[in-house]
A and B are shown apart, each in its own frame.
Chain A
């Protein structure tokens, strides 16, 4: 990585990353990518988020589903850990709670592969700084 030397450099990187993300979110090509974010703060990990993440990585690879699995911080829903956010191409992100291995399997089979929702999704009810 070359160092960011000016504010203009920083803006350029920001735009590059943003357009990369946009491309991923808005692509309507068959090779579109499913995004999986696993809440991996201490609370999530204590409830088994590492196993959940590993399961997603292994299972999606085995089933040849094109997906990006990443970790993120605490989403705040401690009562429902581990929590996972899934973004299907062209759709709003959906957050699932209590995602153990069985639930992860159900998410892959029902939501990721067929696009049908599953009981127990967590509705997001907060304002962000951009609202």
Chain B
């Protein structure tokens, strides 16, 4: 065993690397050698600490001393003062903006911990295939508490008091939904877990089911107790085989331990859960379509009311909640509504899980308290934009959401703020776009998705979205006219107003929000026939700059379609009618003689 008494962790995240953390590390190493401490202290690079605005960051173990804004020149002082004499360097410590106190021990201080994990509390900690590990972390205690100490009414009040809202996208108050289903009179009721996660790039529900399936089982049983149901169903897409497998294992273990089945914990309460597999249609995430799919009918939505709480699966009162919503329930029961409702904003309580994707450094699954700003999510947790490029837009809410500009970076994220900003919470996909993304193409991409996924029941959605897509396609090919932008808006509003379900009602949102926030890009496409981000191939033109071309023939030899002609040592020429705009000549040319316009 080596005997390092101290470890210096230097942030090697992209932000800190750009701010010279390589040099800091080298200086630290140099001074450690100079002071003869190389056997006592080790310097290592870490991943992003998620506090990039205060970088570069150096953390010293033991003691968790957290230095911010460190410069290479500070290395000598850190080594000589802190490592040798054991006196932390006061001037490099983080100063709390409120108390103005310098904070030396980062343990237990939360200033840089922007994330808070409630729904993901067990993901990555426990073995999902071992029920005892779940039990050791208070698993099934909430169910026990509900069954033995609380009446269904009391549990419902607790959930209402907590302010929990549906995490699938709609944001309907969960306690209220439970109350309505509880009040519906029937001989049989059902609890349904909606695990039909369909937004492109969203995978929070899958991760919860794969990492912590028992939390869903426990929450569904609690819900069953509240509404008076003894049967639960998990509707999950067949393309999530691992989640299904882990859920099956978890269900069997719960039955084996007597936590599902008859007379649970000797209280006379019966509850069991079965799995229904979906074929992966996006519209089946809509609750009426989901119920029809479970009944063996076509996965098409129907008019509400009646709401599923009154007449759902097989015509019986059915409570449908999303995976992440359920994952919060046991914590609320264990910790109390007053613990939960202190987290978040006035109208959106608790946390939200986001799948962070796109042009961002730390792609991943994150969970932040409601009210965290987009800037904190993108720059502090996400580590900023890839390759130091300029942020352009962030898309939230999937195909039903919208694209927000940098003007919204400081908007606190909650249900209502996102809607006010022209997007929505959705299930939690968050796709970050940089200066190279063309917003017209992005709108087209999302429409392609809804076009594929429209069930075809309503003409405005089935035909209207097709027409929208055609118009966008025209624009990206440089065949659009300014009038098309007005047409797009008008048709979008018609589709929104006349479609039956959420899919049609929200499918034009990406079009409307990109027109609202990036109208100049649309105008450049239709008026100047230019794509400002250089993404729309049909609008690009590769040309040889004759003065710079040396006639080296490199482009000629690499062109895959033979569009380039020219004599050796003479300027070459690109035949635009053959060119497929692959860009090979542009990247290969050593003399910058290929111009992109």
Contacts and interface: CB of A to CB of B under 8 A. Distances in A.
B257 A21 contact: no
A73 B42 contact: no
B410 interface: no
A114 B2 contact: yes
A129 interface: yes
A131 B111 CA distance: 13
A27 interface: no
A90 interface: no
Contact of A116 (B4, B50, B116): B4
A81 to B, nearest CB: 9
Nearest to B208: A73
B1 A128 contact: no
Contacts of B118: 129
Interface range on chain A (Cβ under 8 Å from partner)? 35 or more
A40 to B, nearest CB: 8
Given A17-B133, A75-B123, A127 B110 contact: yes
A6 interface: yes
A23 interface: no
Interface residues of B, number: 75
Among A74, A78, A80: residue with most chain B CB under 10 A: A74
B109 to A, nearest CB: 10
A70 interface: yes
A88 to B, nearest CB: 10
Given A1-B256, A4-B265, A41-B207, A127 B117 contact: yes
Nearest to A21: B136
Nearest to B1: A115
Contact of A70 (B3, B46, B127, B148): B127
Interface stretch (B168-176, B360-368, B559-567): B360-368
Which secondary structure characterizes the binding site on chain B? loop
B117 to A, nearest CB: 5
Contacts of A42: 203, 206, 210, 240, 242-243
A78 B144 CA distance: 35
A83 to B, nearest CB: 8
Contacts of A125: 49-51, 112-115
B129 A121 contact: no
A83 B51 CA distance: 21
Nearest to B239: A42
Interface of B: 1-4, 7, 9, 11-12, 42, 44-51, 59, 108, 110, 112-118, 120-130, 132-133, 135-136, 138-141, 144-145, 147-148, 203, 206-208, 210-212, 240, 242-243, 256-259, 265-266, 331, 335, 361-367
Given A17-B135, A72-B128, 11 more contacts: A4-B265, A10-B144, A42-B203, A73-B122, A73-B212, A116-B4, A117-B44, A123-B47, A127-B110, A129-B335, A131-B113
